[in-house]
Amino acid sequence: MSQDAQGHALSGTTLEAVGPYDEAVRAFNIVYGDAIGLFDAALAAAPQFAMAHLGKAWLLTGANDPGLLVQARAIVDSARPMVRNERERAHLAALSHQVKGARAAAVAVLDRHLMSYPFDLVAHQAAALADGFLGRFAWVRDRSARALPRWSKDQPGYGTMLAFHGFGCEEAGDYARAEDESREAAALEPHSFWPHHTVSHVMEMT
């Protein structure tokens, strides 16, 4: 079975679809590039690719737009009959709450899921965005702090994980650590939204 860049098994995919999917996840994580177009490219290569459907749904719900939420709900419904593994079932369960506007319930599912899947950057991003709307920025710090010891610096996406933690530290008032980690994250992912946003906040607050 095919795997994503972080080593997760992917249901319903093809080798041709994995590349665009990994690029879509990275674009979603760093908030840069055409994530929708890349998810669509993955789906064109593998129409039953469960995580490509679910990743696109997370992207649409994260926009906090009523029209896009309707589209996300339709995607979630279409993904229900597809073959899914444990990870993908957790995403579907969380999205089932998210598309109803129940962000706290969605994050509760993602938090439990991430205890077993600490490298799931789609879940980390989805939870971070939902917690932002809920004003629970310390949760972003604590969730990434729990996961980071299990990462290595040479893993794809490490810069994104470090950026999540830096952002959470800034929101909790730990400005020195937030700046140091975010500058390191920006060196790893120069186009990423998260570390630049965090350093801007640190500069404003200090």
Averaged pLDDT score across all residues of the chain: 97
| Full-model pTM | 0.95
SS3 content of the chain, % helix, strand, coil (to 5): 75, 0, 25
pLDDT for the residue numbered 64: 87
User: If pLDDT is split at 50, 70 and 90, which confidence band does 1 have?
Assistant: confident
pLDDT per residue over 173-192, tens digit each?
999 999 999 999 999 999 99
Contacts of residue 194, defined as CB under 8 A and 6 or more positions apart, other chains included, come to 30, 31, 160, 163, 164, 166, 167, 182, 185
pLDDT for the residue numbered 89: 98
Percent of the chain with pLDDT over 70: 100
User: If pLDDT is split at 50, 70 and 90, which confidence band does 97 have?
Assistant: very high
pLDDT for the residue numbered 122: 98
Nearest partner of 168 among 190, 200, 191, 136, judged by Cα? 136
pLDDT per residue over 8-39, tens digit each?
999 999 999 999 999 999 999 999 999 999 99
